[in-house]
Amino acid sequence: MAQPPGIHARRGALKLLDAVLRRGETIEQAQGAALKDIRKPADKALALALANEALRWMVDLDTLIDSATKKPLPDDAKPRMVLRLMLAGWLRLETPPHAVIATGLPLLSGGPRRLAHGVFSTLSRREVALPEVPTLPAEVAARWDENAALIAQGLALPPEVDLAVKDIAATEQWQARLGGVSLMPGHVRIPRGTAIDKLEGYAEGAWWVQDLAAQLPAHLLGSGEGKHALDLCAAPGGKTLALARNGWKVTALDISKRRLGLLKENLKRTGLKASTVRADALNWEPKHQFDAILLDAPCTATGTCRRHPDVLHRIGSRQIEEMAELQAGLIERASGWLKPGATLVYAVCSLEREEGEEQAAQIDLDPSPITDSDLPDGLAPTPEGWLRTHPGMIFEEGGLDGFFVARFTR
């Protein structure tokens, strides 16, 4: 019997959900195996969209599912997984209920199939709806405390696409050519949904993709004027490109061969220059000290929850503690590689205090406070002179990722 159109995408989405929720993998880690049998790019995109929307709205989807069952299904039960995808397809991607049933139920058989059919039919007859803002998992909301409601507001929609422009003086030109908006010099924001490699300026390396928040750490180091900068944990390279664009002589270090390969591809496409080093920063010894070091440290990446909602369900206290220990070790190493008078910028794309504020408070260097003039409109430094962003900030302009950034001098 012929398979209904779209069934392959649903199977792939189910594998992605299983990898995230049962094995703790990221969507990025899981998609190679989960989507390897899907040939059509459109089906791959649909599988990713279904899985991400199910993860983004999972608490609310589960509430709906539980309202239509006599007793709650186990969290990892296959019928619950399939129903999450079916409801995400209907309520978020606006797939008609008959098509949701035709493509969702073949993922189950026997009693679970009848159960899923009954639950979905009940909910569709009720014409249920999701809230305007996703509900965060309880433990996540507790960690993010007073910012939780604003962060959740920023998660309601996948983010638009931010670009960093190679020639800062050409920002307005690229804003006009790409039909975007600019929130600071060197930045252009465009609507999501367009193939990046088909956009004007991609082939000639006129810009690269980089969230607005991720553009700020390199921006805070200012103009290099040929001085030496070290970009620690540099791949896939957005901050290396920004430092090189700003006149720094950059050494870009990363432990991952694959990610360094992406960095080299980006350097080649943009025509910017940097020396690349594959090494573990905890063991590596530089040949000289640096005028500036940008340490965008490995972290839980909870600040990227707009585009990677899997972090809402994978990250807990154990992962946060492990990352904080690694970050402290990297800070200690990097601090010893600074010339007298040199600058260290410490950054993480995490919303956790243990990785941001608590790390900065332990750094044994002189503070170099971030000021209002360093930042785009709508953002402001903390009383300590640090920067903390989250997805609910500059919401009317489309938001930004969660980052913590602090600046110091030796």
Indicate the annotated binding residues for S-adenosyl-L-methionine.
233-239, 254, 280, 296
pLDDT per residue over 137-181, tens digit each? 999 999 999 999 999 999 998 899 999 999 999 999 999 999 999
Q: Is the pLDDT of residue 2 over 80?
A: no
Give pTM, 2 decimals.
Answer: 0.94
- Distance from C-alpha of 207 to C-alpha of 205, rounded to nearest angstrom: 5
375-380 mean pLDDT: 96
- Distance from C-alpha of 302 to C-alpha of 307, rounded to nearest angstrom: 10
Q: Which CATH class is domain 7-126?
A: mainly alpha
pLDDT tier at 130 (50, 70, 90 boundaries)? very high
pLDDT per residue over 252-263, tens digit each? 999 999 999 999
245-258 mean pLDDT: 96
Share of the chain above pLDDT 90, in %: 96
Q: What is the pLDDT of residue 194?
A: 80
Kindly list the domain boundaries of the chain, sorted by start residue: 7-126, 217-409
What is the DSSP secondary structure assignment for residue 181, as one 8-state letter?
Answer: B
268-297 mean pLDDT: 96
Indicate the annotated binding residues.
233-239, 254, 280, 296
- Selecting from 3.40.1350.10, 3.40.50.150, 3.30.9.10, 4.10.520.10, what CATH number does the domain 217-409 have? 3.40.50.150
State yes or no: is 349 an active-site residue: yes
298-305 mean pLDDT: 97
pLDDT per residue over 194-208, tens digit each? 889 999 999 999 999
Q: What is the pLDDT of residue 201?
A: 96
List 262's β-bridge partners, or say none: none
What is the DSSP secondary structure assignment for residue 7, as one 8-state letter?
Answer: H
Q: Are 294 and 237 in contact (CB under 8 A)?
A: no
- Write down the catalytic residue from 349, 351, 394, 406: 349
Rounded alpha-carbon distances, angstroms, from residue 258 to 44, 197, 237, 283, 299: 22, 20, 12, 20, 18
- Torsion angle, alpha carbons of 144, 149, 155, 159, to 10: -90
The answer to whether the peptide bond before residue 236 is cis (omega within 30 degrees of 0) is: yes
Angle at 110 between CA 92 and CA 97, to 5 degrees: 25
pLDDT per residue over 61-87, tens digit each? 999 999 999 999 999 999 999 999 999
Helix, strand, coil percentages, rounded to 5, for the chain = 45, 15, 40
- Distance from C-alpha of 226 to C-alpha of 250, rounded to nearest angstrom: 9
